[in-house]
Every structure is written in C-alpha cells, then in structure tokens.
Chains A and B, each alone.
Chain A
Amino acid sequence: MLRQWMSWAGVLFLAGVLAVAGCGKQRAAFTMAGSTAFQPFAEKLADQYMAAHPDVSITVQGGGSAVGVQAALSGAAQIGMADLVTLPPEASPLKSLVVARDGIAIVVSPKNPVTQLTLDQVRRIFNGEIRTWKELGGDDHPIAVVSREAGSGTRSSFEQIVGKVKLTPEAIIQDSNGTIRETVANDVNAIGYLSHGLLNDRIKAVEVDGYLCTEESIMAGHYRLVRPIFLLTRGEPGATSKGFLDYILSEEGQSMIHSNGLIRAK
C-alpha cells in the first residue's frame, strides 16, 4: 500500500518537474506581486497582453503593497505593485513607474443631509474630535466613524494625505472596500472612505474642500485625496517586462484601466 502510494507520488513529482521545465523553455515568463487594489487590473491587462503575445507568460499575485515592495527587492517578483502615497525608504533602490491613480472618496449614507466637508473637518471626525453630525450642519446624531484595518494601503494613504490622523478608538473597523460600502450604506450616521472605483448610488460621496471625488477634479488636480499606483522594478526592466509596462501605459492599456474605475496615469 505504502509502496504504491510512494510510486504515485514519484510519478506526480516527475510530471510536475517536467511541466515546469517545459514552460520555462518555451516562453518568457515573469511574475508581478503586491497591491490587492491593482491586482484585478493587472490580471486583466496580463490576460490581454498574453493573448496578443503567446510567447509571454505573466503570473499575477496579490499580497498587499508591502509585499509588492519586498518581492521586487528580493527578486521574487520582477514587477512589484504598490498603491502608496509615498514609497517607503526601503524602496529607494527600485525604479518606480506610475501606471494609474486612484481617488479616495469620503462617503456617507445618501440619507445624510451633509454634502461637503473640509479636509480639516475630515481629520477631526476621524480623530474623534467632532462627534455629532449637528456640529457639521446635519441631524443631531452621533457620528459612526468607519475605517479600514491597520496596515491597509487605502488606510495609510488616507491617513498620510489627511495628515495627523490618530484614529479614534470608537471607530468601527471593516476589512475591505466592499464591507465599508455596505456598512456606510446601511447606517445613516456612518462616515467612511473607499476607492473611487467602488462608488455607487447606495452611498454618497461628499465634497472635500469644495470638490467631489470625480475623474475631472482628480485630473485637474483639485481633489486632494488621490494616491498613485506604482509598478516597481529592480533596475531597468528586462525586455519582456518592459514590453508589458509599455503596454500598460499605451492608449489601450490606459483605457482599460479607465473603463474599470481607476484614473489614467497622466
């Protein structure tokens, strides 16, 4: 019994080795890893690129922005993905390229009468200094602050841009853009922030310093809460990955990014 099992394991192992070796010989392969916000876009772009270039094989992995930086540094991935306002100091040996931008919208329930806030008010709400909607011209209800978990790229971008945020311990924590949207949509007193691409009519984005989170105001540089999405390579990208990076920045790649909810790089 055991012997049979071992021989099967041996066959599987050999098959695996052959399959991996086979791939390596025929196709130019590279790996991308990092930001989960950009991961679905990278997957789509990679699929389209591989359809046009059958000799190239691209693997896309998630893991988060921190993983993107680490993987690019260690060489585990040829291209790292990171959605941070500023790259951390350890990323300084890497070459970075902005391939898209993402607005962070401040959202409330559509039933909430408040339509505009200043950046300073946003800071004081999330710090727990403004505690009722009445202070902001709304109803006499307590504010329910909703934030992302520590370590989230969206949260660290939000806190960096708003500046001096020390999140109130009262804040409800949700672990994805989607659950933030559900929480805010279901609670008339809630305020949260999420990626521009996930706005819909169940929630209402408020103006920040007089501008709504729209593509126009981001392109014009009026809307403040914008983060770039970086692709990182160690040194100059190789010929294969260079071809893919050029494709992402091409009209076709950018319009695909745009039609799925992110903002063009330029």
Chain B
Amino acid sequence: MLVAFSALASLLLIAVFILKEGVPFFFKYGLGHFLFGLTWDPQAGQFGIYPMIVASLWVTLGAMAIGAPLGIAGAIFLNEFVPRSVLRVVKPTIELLAGIPSVVYGFLGVMVLAPFIRAHLGGPGLSILAASVILGIMVLPTVISISTDAIGAVPNSYREGALALGATRWQSVTLVTVKAARSGIIASIILAMGRALGETMAVIMVVGNAVKVPHSALDSARTLTANIALEMGYATGLHREALFATGVVLFVVIMLLNAMATSAIKAGGRRA
C-alpha cells in the first residue's frame, strides 16, 4: 500500500516541481515565442525551441518507421509461424535488448553507424538518420513484447474459424489475428514512441546537437531531451527556467502519448 502510493507521490512531486519551475517562464517569455521561435541562443536571451520540436518529431517518427514494422513483423512471426518453444526462448532474449544501457547504443552509433552514414550517404554522419536507426533498434523490445502478448491473446477459435472458412494462412493472419490484436499493437507503438521521444543519452551521442531546423534526414539536429541534458549543468536564471519549460513541453507530450496508449488498450479490451 505504502509502496504503491510512494510511486504515485513521486510522480505527483515530479509533475508539481517541473510545472512550478517551468510554467512561469511561459508567461515571462511568451508561449508563442518559446514554441515557435527559431533561435536558441541563451547568452543572447533568445529561447526558441521550434527547431528542437521539429527535430524531436523527425527522430521519433524515423525511429517508428524503422522499429514499428520490424517489431510487428517479428511479433507476428513469433506467434504464428514458429513453434511455441522457439517463442519461449526468443522473446526473453529480445527483452534483454531493453537491458542494454543506452550509452552503449550511443557508443555503437558514434563508432559504427555515424562513420558509415558519412562515408556512404554524405553529411556529417551524426544525424537524424543515425538517431532514428539507433532508436528504432532500442524500441524493438517494447514493440515486440507488447505486440506478441496482444497477438498471443487472440483466441485460437478465431484462427480456426478463418481457416475453416477457407482462408489461407496469410489471410487468417492479416485479416483476422492482427485485426483482433490491433489495439494492443497500437498501444505498443504509442509506448515505443514515448520511449523514443524521451531517450536522451544515446540521442545526444549520435544526433550532433546542432540548433537548427533540419532539412533532411542527413542533417544534424538537437532534440528536446538533448537540449535539457546538454545545458542544465551550467544554466542559471532565465536560461534554467527555459530548460524547465522545455521539460514541461516534453512532459505534456509524453503524458498525452501514454493516455492514448491506455485508451487504446481499454478500447481493445471492450471489443474482445
């Protein structure tokens, strides 16, 4: 009981603290200037986070474009096309991926992926593409594990019914099983988006952190999380408040994503 409430209390304290430190800045600087300003130059008193919002969206969408298809395909394959015994071995192994520290992913990105992109595709290498690929791999355990559970929960009678009606195996998977597990799969993608949006260490290492609106996937950019982590150590006064305000923006977006995931799971529960 006490333990359960302590988790709730810490969430509440974090929310109150971030809002208390960050929200006054919105009024001081102006919400519009803050969200849509193009220049971030703390020394000159300019705090526009538009380039970082764009960068965060690009990186997150890129990660989803890589992680979601791979993850969902993997989950379908593990459930429908291999024996249960293989699933029992492979799934925990995939979940181990989630235990690898993000700094290790970042290190791989800096040492292997960024030089590869620089040599074969051009640009500085440390780029949105590099961050998307790394994050795409990092969200795989989230997508696969939740999707596998959702697909596994589809009653066998659905599959048997489809096959009995003369559907091929492929038709039964795509038209019946995946459709029945849709809400769980959507929830896995939304949770993975939250993970990708909130990841900091690996992203700082591979994304290059240039403060500009990116024009291509090969450009360097700075995400919201990277901005906070890079500058918090030094920031004082208005600069510090601006970083907390960046945290508020991030907090609100991730809360929205989580709420969407919860309602998607609930909607699925009602249908089934």
Q: Contacts A151-B42, A173-B210, A175-B204: A183 and B233 contacting too (C-beta < 8 A)?
A: no
Using A66-B236, A151-B42, A182-B110 as known contacts, say yes or no to A169 and B212 having CB atoms under 8 A apart: yes
- The answer to whether A172 and B115 touch (CB under 8 A), given A149-B230, A151-B234, is no
Chain A: which residue is nearest B126 at the CB level?
A: A172
Interface residues of A in 182-238 (CB under 8 A from B): 182-183, 186-187, 189-190
Are B208 and A186 within 8 A (Cβ)? Answer: no
| With A64-B233, A171-B210: A186-B114 Cβ-Cβ less than 8 Å | yes
Query: A186 to B114, alpha carbons, bound, how many Å?
Result: 9
Assembly CA distance A266 to B67 (angstroms): 57
Q: Contact check: which of B118, B205, B212, B236 meets A187 at CB < 8 Å?
A: B118
Q: How many residues of B contact A (CB 8 A)?
A: 27
The answer to whether B211 touches A173, judged by C-beta atoms less than 8 angstroms apart, is yes
* Pair B209/A172 contact, Cβ less than 8 Å: yes
- A140 to B: closest C-beta gap in Å: 13
Mark contacts of B104-134 with chain A using CB atoms, 8 A cut-off: 1 yes-contact digit, 0 otherwise: 0000001100110010000011100000000
Query: A182: which B residues are within 8 A, CB to CB?
Result: 110
Q: Which residues of B contact A174 (CB under 8 A)?
A: 209
Q: Bound complex: CA of A152 vs CA of B208, how far in Å? A: 17
In the bound assembly, the distance between CA atoms of A34 and B205 in angstroms comes to 25
What 1/0 mask marks residues of chain A from 135 to 167 whose CB sits below 8 Å from any chain B CB?
A: 000000000100001111000000000000000
Q: Which A residues fall within an 8 A CB radius of B?
A: 64, 66, 144, 149-152, 169-175, 179, 182-183, 186-187, 189-190
- Flag if B42 contacts A150 (CB, 8 Å): yes
* Distance in angstroms between the alpha carbons of A169 and B126 in the assembled complex: 15
CB distance from B210 to the nearest CB of A (A): 5
For B124, the chain A residues whose CB sits under 8 A away are 144, 172, 187, 189-190
Compute how far the CA of A174 lies from the CA of B110 in the bound complex, rounded to whole angstroms. 12
Cβ of B95 within 8 Å of any chain A Cβ, yes or no, is: no
Q: How far is the CA of A238 from the CA of B156 in the complex (A)?
A: 81
Contact digits for B233-250, partner A, Cβ 8 Å, 1 yes 0 no? 111100100000000000
Return the CB mask of B121-165 against A: 1 if under 8 Å, else 0: 000111000000000000000000000000000000000000000
Where the two chains meet, the residues of B that have a C-beta atom closer than 8 Å to any C-beta of A are 41-43, 110-111, 114-115, 118, 124-126, 204-205, 208-212, 220, 222, 230-231, 233-236, 239
Cβ-defined contact, A66 with B208, below 8 A: no
Q: Is B125 touching A179 in the complex (CB atoms < 8 A)?
A: no
Bound Cα distance A55, B124 (Å): 54
Would A172 and B230 be within 8 Å (CB), given that A150-B42, A151-B235, A183-B126 are in contact?
no
Chain A residue contacts of B222, Cβ below 8 A = 173
Q: Which 3 A-B pairs have the closest CB atoms?
A: A151-B234, A173-B209, A169-B212
Residues of B near A152 (CB, < 8 A) are: 234
CB distance from B232 to the nearest CB of A (A): 9
CA distance A149 to B226 in the complex (A): 11
User: CA A170 – CA B124 in complex, angstroms?
Assistant: 10
| A107 CB, nearest partner CB in chain B, Å | 16
Which residues of chain A are near B125, meaning CB under 8 Å?
186-187
Bound together, the chains give a CA A66 to CA B237 distance in angstroms of 12
Chain B minimum-CB-distance residue to A174? B209
For A149, the chain B residues whose CB sits under 8 A away are 209, 230-231, 234
Chain B hits for A183, CB < 8 A: 110, 126
Q: A224–B69 Cα gap in the complex (Å)? A: 55
Across-interface contacts of B118 in A (CB, < 8 A): 186-187
User: Which residues of the partner chain A approach B231 to less than 8 Å between Cβ atoms?
Assistant: 149-151
A228→B118 CA distance, assembly (Å)? 37
Out of A64, A171, A190, name the residue touching B234 (CB < 8 Å): A64
Q: Looking at the assembled complex, report how far the CB atom of B225 sits from the nearest CB atom of chain A, in whole angstroms.
A: 13
Contact B110 A186, beta carbon cutoff 8 Å: yes
Cα A206 to Cα B163 with chains together (Å): 72
A151 vs B212: C-alpha distance in the bound complex, in angstroms? Answer: 18
Q: List 10 A-B contacts (CB under 8 A).
A: A151-B233, A151-B239, A152-B234, A170-B210, A170-B212, A175-B209, A179-B205, A186-B110, A186-B111, A186-B115
